[in-house]
Amino acid sequence: MRQFGRRSARGAAALLVALLATAGCAPVVAPQPPQVPPPQPTASRPPIPPLETPGAVVGVASVIDGDTIDIHGQRIRLHGIDAPESGQLCELNGKPWRCGQSSANALADHIGRRTVTCEPRTHDRYGRLVAACSVAGTSISAWMVLEGWAVAYRRYSQDFIADEATARAAKRGIWRSTFIMPWEWRAQRRGGGAVASLPRSPSATSQNHRAGCDIKGNINSKGDRIYHVPGSRYYESTLIDTARGKR
């Protein structure tokens, strides 16, 4: 009886499947979730380069003259000072003295082959970089003025006036000679006239510096007394003739 019951159950199931197939029905299949494609790796973007900002010029320097050096082919004017020009002569003990060359040699000896660091300040009218340069953490401009191989360029900076006063009092470098201020020497040469290789008398400018006075004065054709302060339009080009009462 039990075998007959199992056979009857199997037969009923088979009959049901056959009837469903005959009627065009198919077993219900649970829906499959949609296939999501795996994420594709994205190409990495190149890093954005940092903005280029002007920085310090660093390297071994070549000396051009007492206030100009060259690093990696870039001409650099030392900030705040003016030195005798390469071809400029001063008078020492009554004899011609190549003070411009001596100034350049002093700068070259001071720098040597040491690394020079120059922080840009501006550009001059000739397109040269004007920078505050140092070696071993010491200002080159300050050293040149303090040792008397350059003067404070008051038209552009007041930074080295005290150093100049110290050098002048100690008669260091060019202060032990008779000389024409570098800007006066250049003004004479630009004017088209002959530049005296030696000053015929102690420079009026250097005399004024020794006395602690930076104001120039002259007398015009009408007899009026005109005064020029450092930085004024005609200060550098004004030449002093003490024989005519100018100071």
202 closest CA partner among 237, 148, 240: 240
Mind spelling out the 3-state secondary structure of 170-207? Answer: HCCHHHHCECCCHHHHHHHHHCCCCCCCCCCCCCHHHH
Residue with tokens 């003067």: 151
How far is residue 3's CA from residue 242's CA, in Å, rounded to a whole number?
148
Known catalytic membership, residue 2:
no
Known catalytic membership, residue 128:
yes
Catalytic residue among 75, 121, 128, 189: 128
How far is residue 7's CA from residue 9's CA, in Å, rounded to a whole number?
5
DSSP 114-176: SEEEEEEEEE-TTS-EEEEEEETTEEHHHHHHHTTSSEE-TTT--TTHHHHHHHHHHT-GGGG
Known catalytic membership, residue 7:
no
The upper half-sphere exposure of residue 182, i.e. CA atoms within 13 Å in the direction of its Cβ, equals 23
Catalytic residue among 77, 154, 164, 184: 77
Catalytic residue among 85, 91, 147, 184: 85
Supply the residues annotated as catalytic: 77, 85, 128
